[in-house]
Amino acid sequence: MLDADGNNSPATTAGELNNYLYWLKYNVNSSVLGSGTDVVPYQGASPPPNSGIHRCVILVYSQLNGSMTSPPVGVTALHDDDVNDQTRATFHLRLFIRQNQLSGPVVGNFFRTLEDSFSAAQWAALASPP
């Protein structure tokens, strides 16, 4: 799950914004609800303060090489207490798809969201080094 409207951080490719990553799982079995391994644990959608409406997107891709035995390339595994890790803020979806030989998306959905008091606290924590 990611913020499709970026987070105003520098892009890795000219003319593109990075996406803010709210959740990333791999090795999800389509017939087993709740399967898969969290690489980046779920964080509720929380756009930056004063940034307007954001589109949060949930996408499912097919792993062309079958099951992965280690975390995907291009993202650092996080734990639930890693609130201010830059992995979330510097995620680049197109690069991630290429690096991990993914196909699709095979299914997706989105919703729109605005900042709230939780998002202001999350972005403040992101701006403050541990």
Domain range list for the chain: 2-127
Name the residue among 128, 129, 126, 130 with its Cα closest to residue 9: 126
Mean pLDDT for the chain?
78
In which band, very low, low, confident or very high, does the pLDDT at 103 lie, cut at 50, 70 and 90?
very high
Predicted model pTM: 0.76
How far apart CA 31 and CA 48 sit, in angstroms, is 35
Which is more confidently placed, 69 or 7? 69
Q: How confident is the model at residue 11 (pLDDT cuts 50, 70, 90)?
A: very low
Phi, psi of 87 (to 5 degrees): -55, -45
Confidence of residue 7 (pLDDT cuts 50, 70, 90): low
pLDDT at position 130 is 53
Q: Where are the alpha helices (DSSP H) in 1-130?
A: 86-89, 93-99, 117-127
Per-residue pLDDT reduced to its tens digit, 17-67: 678 888 998 888 888 878 888 888 888 888 877 888 889 999 999 988 777
Backbone torsions φ then ψ of 103, nearest 5 degrees: -120, 140
